[in-house]
Amino acid sequence: MSKRILIKNGTVITLDPSLGDLATGDLLIDDGRIVQVAQHIDVGADAEIIDASDRLVLPGLVDTHRHTWQALFRNIGSDWTLAHYLSGLHGTVSGLYRAEDTYAGNLLGTLEALDSGITTLLDWCHNLNSPEHTDAAIDAHIASGARVVFAHGGGHRHWQPISDLDHPEDDVRRVRKGRLASDDQLVTLFLAPRGNQFATMRVTERDWALAAELGIRISCHFGDGEWGKNRPIAALAQKKMLGPTMTFVHCNSLADDELQMMADAGVTASVSPDIELQMGHGWPATGRLMKAGIKPSLSIDVCSSNGGHLFGTMRATIGTERGFDNEYARQAGKASVDEMELTCREVLEFATIEGARACGMDSKIGSLTPGKRADIILVRTDTWSMTPLNNPIGQFVYNAHPGLVDTILVDGKIVKRDGKLLTADFARVRRLAYESRDDIVSRAAGKNGLRLGGEWIPKPYPSAE
C-alpha cells in the first residue's frame, strides 16, 4: 500500500502560476508524489495528517553550488580575500583530506543544508583526491536523506590555474556506470569541470565531451573576478560549446554580450552574492542576467567564509540588486525607482523553481505542482518575527531563518518534524567533524601559519591578485 500524507490548513505557496497561492489550503501526497492541492481535501483514515496551521507550506529550497567538503573549516575564512581562500583552503588543507574526512565534511554540510530547508543541494565537490574520496562523499550524501546532485570536480591538484591536468575521467565513468547510473534516484551525477578560465581549452573540450558521452549536465565557474574578463564564454560560443545542459556559476565579470550568448544557448546561471561581494568577484550579476533573459538560481558557495542557509543569500541578492536599481534611477534624475524591479516572489523563485531548472529537475521539483515529487518545507509563522502574517512571501524572504523551518519532506519522506532533523545522530556527526578537523590541523603542523580561532590570514595565492 502506498503511503499517503495530507498537509492541512497551511498557507500554501505553490510557485505554480496555474495554481497560485492559498491563504489556507491542503496538499495531498501519495507514494512520494504531490497528487492534489486545494482549499480542502477529504481523505480516508489511511493518510497521515500533518497539521500546517500557522505554517507556510512551500517547495523545498535548492542550493545550486556548494563546496560541501569545506564544512569542517566553517567560517575559518570569514575575513579572507579570494587570494587567501585559494591559499588557505586549496593550498593548505585540501590535500590533507583523507576519505573519512571527506565523509565527515560532506555529511555535516549536507545535513546543515537540509536542516535549513534546502531539500536539494548541488555539491560542487572539487577535492576528490582518489576514488575512495569520491565514494566517501557519495556515502555521506546517501546517509543524509537529502536530494543531492554530486558534481564531480576532480582533486586539489587540478585547481592550480591555468591547469593542463586532465580531469580524472575514469573515476567519473566508474561512478556513472555504477552507483549513480540512474537520474531517478535521490543522489545523481553532474560534471564540475574547471572550464577554460582555470584549465586549457584542450582540457575543457575533453571535459565537455566526457559530459556528453555520459549524458550528464555541467556546472562550471565563470566570471569570478579577473579570470572572467578574458571572454571565456565568447571562446566557448565560437566553438559551439554552449547549451542547455550547462549552469555557469557567478558570471560577475562576464561581458553583457556573453550573458546574452548564454541566454541564447539556454545556459542557466547560479549566483552567490555573499561570497562574490567578499572575495572580489565583481558585483552580483543578478540584474544583468535577468536583462539577458536568464533568471538565476542561488548558491551558498563556501561555508568556510559565509553562512550555510539560503535565507541570508536571498536577502543579499535582493538587497544588492535593489541598491543597484535605485542608484541607476538616481543617475537618471529620479529620487528612486518607480516600482521595485526585483520582487520577493522572484527571489523565492530563484531559490526554488530556478534552482530546480539549473539542476535539470524543474519537471520533478521546485514547485508544489501535482505530479512532482514531494520536496516540501513547513515554516512557522507563530513567532515574533512572523506575526501578524501580512505578506507571506515578503516575510519568508526578509524574516525567516533556519530556526523557523519546522517540518521537511524529501521525496515524500518526513526528514524533519517539530524542528528536529530525523535523519542523523547530531552527536555522532559532530564528533566526526571535530575528529577530522583536529586531525587535519595536526597533520598540517602549522603549514602556511594554519591555526584556529579566527586570526589566521594565510599568505595569499599570488595568481589571484
Is residue 451 situated within a structural domain? no
Is residue 23 situated within a structural domain? yes
Q: Do 244 and 385 have their domain in common?
A: no
Cell reading at 235: 571562446
Q: Identify the helix (H) or strand (E) that includes residue 354.
A: helix 353-358
Alpha helices, DSSP H, located in 156-225: 169-177, 195-198, 201-214
Q: CA–CA separation, 104 vs 122, rounded Å?
A: 17
Boundary-marking domain end, from 358, 373, 405: 358
Question: Are 414 and 407 within 8 A, CB to CB?
Answer: yes
Task: Look at residue 446 in the predicted model and tell me its pLDDT.
Answer: 87
Q: Do 42 and 140 have their domain in common?
A: no
Could you give the angle at which helices 99-115 and 131-144 cross, rounded to 10 degrees?
Answer: 30
Question: Are 409 and 417 within 8 A, CB to CB?
Answer: no
Q: Do 142 and 278 have their domain in common?
A: yes
What band does 463 get if pLDDT is binned at 50, 70 and 90? very low
Q: Do 145 and 257 have their domain in common?
A: yes
Rounded average pLDDT over 228-239:
96
Q: CA–CA separation, 186 vs 184, rounded Å?
A: 7
Q: Do 211 and 186 have their domain in common?
A: yes
Cell reading at 270: 547560479
Which positions ≥6 away from 287 have C-beta within 8 Å? Answer: 321, 324, 325, 341, 342
What are the pLDDT digits (tens) for 390-434?
Answer: 999 999 999 999 999 999 999 999 999 999 999 999 999 999 999
Which positions ≥6 away from 160 have C-beta within 8 Å? Answer: none
Q: Which of helix, strand or coil describes residue 108? A: helix
Task: Look at residue 123 in the predicted model and tell me its pLDDT.
Answer: 98
Q: Do 267 and 385 have their domain in common?
A: no
My answer on whether omega of the bond before 162 falls inside 30° of 0, hence cis, is yes
Is residue 452 situated within a structural domain? no
What band does 2 get if pLDDT is binned at 50, 70 and 90? low
Q: Do 335 and 388 have their domain in common?
A: no
Q: Do 144 and 91 have their domain in common?
A: yes
Q: Do 382 and 402 have their domain in common?
A: yes
Is residue 139 situated within a structural domain? yes
Question: Are 272 and 65 within 8 A, CB to CB?
Answer: yes
Counted domains in the chain: 2
Is residue 456 situated within a structural domain? no
Q: Which domain holds residue 28?
A: 4-59+364-421
Rounded average pLDDT over 445-456:
92
Measured CA distances, 188 to 46, 175, 191, 216, 279 (Å): 32, 10, 11, 9, 30
pLDDT for 246 beyond 80 = yes
CATH of the domain at 84: 3.20.20.140
pLDDT for 465 beyond 60 = no
Is residue 426 situated within a structural domain? no
Question: Are 58 and 368 within 8 A, CB to CB?
Answer: yes
Q: Identify the helix (H) or strand (E) that includes residue 150.
A: strand 147-152
pLDDT for 461 beyond 80 = no
Boundary-marking domain end, from 336, 358, 380: 358
Task: Tell me the pLDDT of the chain averaged across its residues.
Answer: 96
> Nearest Cα to 29, choosing from 57, 62, 61?
57
Is residue 429 situated within a structural domain? no
Is residue 427 situated within a structural domain? no
Boundary-marking domain end, from 406, 421, 436: 421
pLDDT for 160 beyond 80 = no
Q: Do 180 and 131 have their domain in common?
A: yes
- Residue 48, strand partner residues: 5
Q: Do 67 and 209 have their domain in common?
A: yes
Q: Do 204 and 105 have their domain in common?
A: yes
**Phi and psi (nearest 5°) for 387?**
-115, 130
Q: CA–CA separation, 343 vs 16, rounded Å?
A: 16
CATH of the domain at 24: 2.30.40.10
Question: Are 197 and 204 within 8 A, CB to CB?
Answer: no
Rounded average pLDDT over 351-358:
98
Q: CA–CA separation, 457 vs 443, rounded Å?
A: 19
Cell reading at 143: 546517509
Is the dihedral angle over the CA atoms 127, 130, 133, 138 positive or is it negative? positive
Q: Identify the helix (H) or strand (E) that includes residue 24.
A: strand 21-30
